[in-house]
């Protein structure tokens, strides 16, 4: 597995964790307009938390190649910024990272 694929798979782990967090928050009535999620960047050791609107989170989940990351965690070799809200970037994975994102999206 090459470096770019490994980084993209790290991002998928965070996306999967966030899907479980968001589902639990909504089902327990804990998400009132905003969700606290994990940064979905490529750094497997990242522990940053992001607060995003439910609308932005839903937008990120609407397409396999979209992820939410802290703005300072954007990696231009893997992604391009599609939208920005404060210090949160909605990024679109490109190249091999985009292919992996599409393959691994449940």
- Which residue numbers in the chain have pLDDT < 50? none
Residue 37's beta-bridge partner residues?
50
Q: What is the pLDDT of residue 51?
A: 92
What is the structure's pLDDT at 54? 84
Cβ-based neighbours of 63, under 8 Å, separated by 6 or more: 92
Instruction: Give the per-residue pLDDT at 34.
Output: 84
List the domain range (segments joined by +) for residue 64: 3-104
| The pLDDT of residue 66 | 96
How many other CB atoms sit within 10 Å of the CB of residue 52? 21
Tally the domains of the chain: 1
Tell me, yes or no, if the pTM score tops 0.85: no
Q: Which of 72, 70, 68, 71 is nearest to 93 (CA)?
A: 68
């Amino acid at each position: 597995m090459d470096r770019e694929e490994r980084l993209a798979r790290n991002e998928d782990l965070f996306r999967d964790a966030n899907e479980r967090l968001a589902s639990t928050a909504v089902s327990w009535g804990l998400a009132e307009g905003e969700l606290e999620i994990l940064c979905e960047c490529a750094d497997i050791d990242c522990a940053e938390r992001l607060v995003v609107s439910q609308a932005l989170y839903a937008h990120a989940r609407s397409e396999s190649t979209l992820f939410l990351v802290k703005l300072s965690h954007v990696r231009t070799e893997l992604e391009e910024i599609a939208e920005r809200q404060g210090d949160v970037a909605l990024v679109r994975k490109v190249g091999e990272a985009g292919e992996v994102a599409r393959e691994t999206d449940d």
